[in-house]
Structure 1
Amino acid sequence: MENDVLAILMFPAMIGLLLLGFQVAFSLLVVGTLFGWVLYDHRVAIQLFNVIQTTASQFLLTAVPPFILMGCILERSGIAERLFNVVQLWVGRLPGGLALTTMLMAAMIAATTGIVGAVEVMIGLMAIPAMQRLGYRNDLIAGTVCAGGSLGTMIPPSLVLIVYASVANLSVGKLFAAAILPGAIMVAAFLAYITVRSIVTPPATPEREAADPGHGMTLGRKLWLTLVGLLPAAGLIFAVLGTILKGIATPTEAASVGALGALVLAGFYRRLDLPMLREAFLTTLKLTSMILFIVVGGSMFSSIFRGLGGNDVVRAVVEAADLGTFGIVALLLAIVFVAGFILEWVSVLLICLPIFVPILDAYAVDPIWFAMLTFIMLQTSYLTPPMAPSIFYLKGIAPPGMTTREMYAGVVPFIACMLFVLALVMLFPGLATWLPGVLVTGF
C-alpha cells in the first residue's frame, strides 16, 4: 500500500479508536506508533523517544503548570464569589442585570484561570441558583453560562493560546495581545444580546430592583467593596500579562510569579490552608499530565503523518481545489470547527496546525490573524449542538428542571454573536494584528 494512502487512513483509524471509547492521547499515540512501524520498522521506538524528548525540552510548555496552578489557587481563594458580588453592585439594576453580572464575571474568571471548562463550572455553580431564584428563563441561564464559560478559549492568559504558540512557533506575547480586542468585542456582543433580549422580552428577566444588592448603598461603600474584591486579582492579572507583553519576563517566569501572587491573595482572603493547597497541586498535576500526554500523542501522530507524505497529499488537494486565499482560510476553519466537535482543543491544535502551517505560509496568510480566527472557531464549536462540550459541562451542574432542549436553545443566539465577531475579524484583520505591534516588545 502506498504511503500517502496510509497517511489518509490514519484519521479513520484514530476516529475508530475514539468511538470505541479510548482516550484521545492514547488513540493518537497508538495510531502514530502503529503506522510509524510501517514507515520506520522497529526504529519507530527511536522516533517515539525523539518526540518525547522534544516535547520535554520545549521551554514554552513549561509555562503550562504555573498558569494552571495560578488558576487553581485563585479558583479556591473565593475570588469568584467576590467578583460576582462586586460586579452585581454596579450592573444589578440594568435590564438582565444578573445575566450581565454572570457574563462579566466569566470574562474576569477567564483572565484568572485560562482553563477551558473550569470557567463554566465556576460561574455556573454560583449563577444558576441565583438566576433561578430571581425567575430567569432556563434557556437564558444556560446560554449565558455556556457562552461565559467559552471565554476561557479567547481571553489571555488562556492555555489554548500558549499551546498554539508552542505548536505554531509564534510569540506568546503577540497572541495574548492579539486576543484582547476580539475577546473584548466578543464580551460586548454577549452583553448587547442579553440587554436587548431583556428589553424586548421583559418576562425573560426579573424585576431589576430584586437583582440589585447595592440598592441604598452609598457610593463610598460600593467603591470600597470594589477595591477589596476586584483590585487584587486585577492587579495580579495585569502584572502577569504586562510583564510578558513588555518583554520583562518570559511566559514561564510571569506565570511562576503569578502562582506566587495567587498564594498571597489566598492568604489575604484567608483561604490559604493545607487542604486547599493539596487540592490545587493535585489538579495542576492532573491537568498538566493530560495536556502533555496529548502533546506527545499529537506530536507522534503528526510526525508520522508527515513522514508518510500526508502533507504533500493535503497540499496537492488544496492546489487542485484552487480556492484562493480566502477560500483556503474558510476551508481550514471549517476543518477546525468539525474537529472541535469530537476532540479536545489541544488535540485539534496538535493534529491540524502541523498540516495547516505550510499551507498558510504558501498563501502568505498572517499567522496571528489566522490564530485569532482559529480561537473563535474553537470557541464556536465548544458551544454548537449537538456535540457541544459546553452542554456536557453544564449538565454536570444544572438543576433537574433544566432540559437539554432549553440548553440548546439558549446557546444559539450566542453562537450567532460568535459568528458575527468571526466575520468582523475576517473582514478587518487589524482587529487581531494591530495590538501586537503596539504592545509587544518581548516574548
Structure 2
Amino acid sequence: MTEILPFLMFPALGILIFCGIPVGLSLLAIGLVFGVFRFGGAAIVQISASLDSLTTSYAVAAVPLFVLMGAILERSGMAAQLFDSIYGWTRRLPGGVAIGAVIICTVFAAASGITGATETIVGILAVPAMKRYKYDHRLIAGSICAGGSLGTIIPPSVLAIILAPVAGVQVGDLMAGIAIPGLILSLSYIVMILGLCRFKPNFAPRDPDESPINYKALVISSIRSLLPPLVLISAVLGSIMFGIATTTEAAAVGCGGAAILAIINRQFNVQKLLDAGGRAMVVSVAILTILFGGMVFSAVFVASGGMMASQSFLRGLDIDLVWLMVIVLAMGFFLGMMLDQISIIFIIVPVAVPVLKALGADPLVFSVLFMLILQTSYLTPPMAPAVFYFRAISPPEIKLTEMYSGVIPFVLVQFIVLFAVAAFPALATYLPSVLYPLR
C-alpha cells in the first residue's frame, strides 16, 4: 500500500480541482491529508518547516515585488502611449493592429514579467481598434492570447524565478537563456500574422486612413513612449544578468522605476498606489499559496518514496536522452492544460532533472524547453488559460469557438520554436555563456 500511496495523490488532486477548489488549496489539502495518513503528527512539523522556508526565502520575495511593479505600470498609462506609438509604425502593414499588439505585449512582458496583466491591458487597448477595422475574430483572439502569453518566456519572467532553483540553475542564467527564444517567438508571431493577412486580406482589412505619416513626430513620440520602459527593462534585467544585484534587489529597483514612470506620466497618487498595492497583494497571495501548496505536495510525495519510484521508472525505460526529454516535456504539456504552471514545476521538475542530468542533459536547456512547453500548454485548447483571460475582456460577439480556432496557428508556431531550440541548444546557452564565461 505504501508503495502506491504517493501516486494516489495525483488522482485525488485532479478530483479536488475538478470540483472547483483552487489549485493552491487543493495541493495543500492533498499534501496535508496524505502526509498525516503516512507520517502522523510529524507531517505537521514538516509542513510548518515548509511554510517557514517559504516566508523567509530571499528569492521568493522577488515574486510580490515583480507583481507590484507590473501593477504600478498597469496604472501608469504607459501601455496606452506605447500602443499609439507602435501602431503609428505598423498601421500600413497587413494586420498592423495585431502586429502592434504583439510588439507591445513583448515590451510590456519585459517590463512587468506577468502574463495575465499583459494580456488584459493590451487586449483592452487593441481589441476595440481591431473591431473598428473589422478584423476577423479569430485573428483578434489569437494575437492577443499569444502576445499576452509572452510574459512566460520573456525575462524577467516570474515563472523563471520560481523554476530556476527547482531545476538547479542560476536565476540570471535562466533569464539570459530565455531571452533569445522569447524574442524569436515574438518575431515568429509577427511573421505568421503578416503571412496570414497577406494570403487572406479579409482577415485584417487595411487602415483606410491614407494620410501621409509624419515620421518626425512619430519618431519623437516613439522615443518618449519607448525610452522610459526600455530604461526600466535595462535596469532590472541588466542588474540581474551582470550580477550587480540579486533578483530581489532588481525587483525592488523595478518597483521604484515603475513608480517614477507613473509620476512622469502624472498617473501617480495615493489612490492609484493603493489600487496597485491591492491588486499586487491579491495576485501575490494566489501565487504564494500555489508555491506553498506545491512545496507541501512535493515534500510529501518525495518523503513517501514517490520521487525515487518515479526516477527508477524513468531510468528503467531504457531509452536515450532525446526520447526521455520528449516524454517529460509531453507530461508538462498535458498537465499544463489542467494545472497551474507553478504546480507543474513542483510536480515534474524535481523528479525529472536528476535523471536527465545523469544522462548528460543540460539543466539550463531543459529549463528553457520546459518554459516553452508550459507556455504552449497555456495557449492550447480546451483549457487554455490564455483564452479565459481573453474571454473576460472580449466583446460578447467573439465566440469561444473562434477564440479556440484563433490560437491554433500560434500554438503551431510555439512548437516550431520549441523544436528549433531543441535542435540548436545554443539558442538557449549562447547568451548565458557570453555573460557568464567562467560558469
Letter in 2 for 1:412: I
**Aligned partner of 1:37: which letter?**
V
Conservation of the 8 A alpha-carbon contact between 1:245 and 1:442: no
In structure 2, the residue matched to 1:311 is: 307
Matched, 1:44 2:53: no
- Provide Cα deviations, 1:337-356, integer angstroms capped at 9, x if missing partner: 11111111111112222222
Task: Give the aligned partner of residue 278 of structure 2.
Answer: 282
Q: CA offsets, 1:271-315, max 9 Å, x none?
A: 001111011111111122111121111111111111111112112
Query: What is the match of residue 229 of structure 1?
Result: 225
Residues 28-39 of structure 1 mapped to structure 2, 5 A cutoff: 28-39=27-38
Q: C-alpha offsets along residues 27-78 of structure 1, whole Å, 9 cap, x if unaligned?
A: 1111111111233211111111111111123221111121111111111101
Match of 1:97? Answer: 96
Q: What does residue 234 of structure 2 align with?
A: 238
1:425 corresponds, among 413, 421, 424, to 421
**CA deviation map 1:367-402 (0-9, x unaligned):** 110111111111111111111111111111111111
CA distance in 2, matches of 1:57, 1:440: 28
Out of 367, 380, 383, which is 1:384 matched to? 380
Once residues 54 and 353 of structure 2 are traced to their aligned partners in structure 1, the CA distance between those partners, rounded to angstroms, is 19
Q: Which residue of 1 aligns with 2:243?
A: 247
SS in 2 for 1:192: helix
* Alpha-carbon displacement from aligned partner over 1:243-263 (angstroms, at most 9, x marks no partner): 111111111111101101111
Matches within 5 A, 1:8-407: 8-210=7-209, 215-407=211-403
CA distance in 2, matches of 1:218, 1:136: 25
Structure-1 residue corresponding to 2:404: 408
Name which of structure 1's ranges 72-81 and 159-168 shifts more when overlaid on structure 2: 159-168
Letter aligned with residue 235 of structure 2: A
Q: Distance in 2 between matches of 1:216 and 1:441?
A: 49
**How many angstroms apart in 2 are the aligned matches of 1:10 and 1:410?**
35
Pairwise CA distance, 1:319: 2.2
* 1:114-147 deviation digits (Å, cap 9, x = unpaired): 1121111111111111001011110111110110
Deviations 1:72-98 (CA, angstroms, capped at 9, x unpaired): 111110111011011111111112111
- C-alpha separation in 1, matches of 2:225 and 2:436: 29
Q: Structure 1 counterpart of 2:81, which letter?
A: R
Residues 245 and 441, structure 1, Cα contact 8 Å, conserved in 2: no
How many residue pairs are counted as aligned between the two chains? 439
CA distance, structure 2, for counterparts of residue 260 and residue 167 of structure 1: 28
Deviation at 1:442, TM superposition (A): 10
1:247–1:442 CA contact under 8 A, matched in 2 = no
Taking only the aligned residue pairs, the percentage that are identical comes to 40
**8 Å CA contact retained: 1:68, 1:284:** yes
Is contact 1:82–1:229 with CA below 8 Å preserved after alignment?
yes
Q: Does the CA-based 8 Å contact 1:236-1:258 persist in structure 2?
A: yes
Query: Structure 1, unaligned stretches of length 5 or more?
Result: none
Report the Cα distance in structure 1 between the residues aligned to 2:46 and 2:31, rounded to whole angstroms. 10
Cα deviation 1:152-194 (Å, max 9, x = unaligned): 1100111111111132232111111111110111011100110
TM-score, length basis structure 1 = 0.96
Distance 1:188 1:385, change over 3 A: same
Cα distance change, pair 226–163 in 1 and its aligned pair in 2 (3 A): same
Question: Aligned equivalents of 2:205 and 2:300: distance in 1?
Answer: 57
Q: Indicate the SS of the match to 2:337.
A: helix
Residues in 2 aligned to 1:133 and 1:295: alpha-carbon distance in whole angstroms: 42
Q: Is the CA contact 2:133–2:207 (under 8 Å) kept in the aligned structure 1?
A: no
1-structure distance, mates of 2:58, 2:165? 9
